[in-house]
Amino acid sequence: MTSNSPPRPSPDAPFDIVGFDLDGTLLDTSGDLAAAVNHALASVGRAPLGVAQVKPMIGGGARRMLAQGMAATGGCDEATLDVLHRRLLDHYEAHIADLTQPYPGVLDALDTLAAQGARLAVVTNKLEGLARKLLGALDLTGRFACIIGGDTMGPGNAKPSPKPIYEMLARCGGGTAAFVGDSIFDIAAGKAAGLPTIACSFGFLMQPVAELGADAVIDGYDELIPTLERLAR
């Protein structure tokens, strides 16, 4: 009789499952996201924002990011935000991987975890369709057992809710897990789900990384495997 359950990891894997946020964690998407924000701003005569200004706005989904961009350039009402949100998404989808690249060392770290037998997952507040399109454009989709977006679990259930983290665990077959991210949404969701959490100091931080309350901080992907091993002890 054959089993449909996922293969168990080798003893080398520090955790059965390692989940990752996307923007600011696996990928530096700041250039393409800033361009999309500025496209929406320009359509109503607003001045552009620099990439450094947009970075702290990333992490809570495109609408929240745009709302902060509009607030920084004069504010707007909800009806205008609805229209501009669509413009932002359309522009972003058309230019989703013009400037985006994995952070240094990401691919090596993912290869090592996969070789150890860990199951890898993405849990992002980006719309699932956009997350899949981006990962596909970078030929990364096949590395992940599941991809969960900010809309996957329905309205109000994106991070910091633990629901997408629980869904990650279910889709990956259960077992020990850790979560890696760069925002308070990531760390709060991971902690609410009872997982050890790792914060990326190089991500799109909304506040000092020490204030996120993560169990560990990495300054680069060369530190990920040793940090996971330490947290697993």
| Residue 136 CB contacts under 8 Å (≥ 6 apart), including other chains | none
Of 93, 103, 153, 156, the closest CA to residue 123 belongs to 153
33 touches 200 (CB < 8 A):
no
SS3 179: strand
18 touches 10 (CB < 8 A):
no
21 has catalytic annotation? yes
Report the C-alpha dihedral over residues 133, 97, 221, 113, rounded to 10 degrees. 30
Which residue is catalytic, options 12, 16, 21, 108?
A: 21
The residues annotated as belonging to the active site are: 21
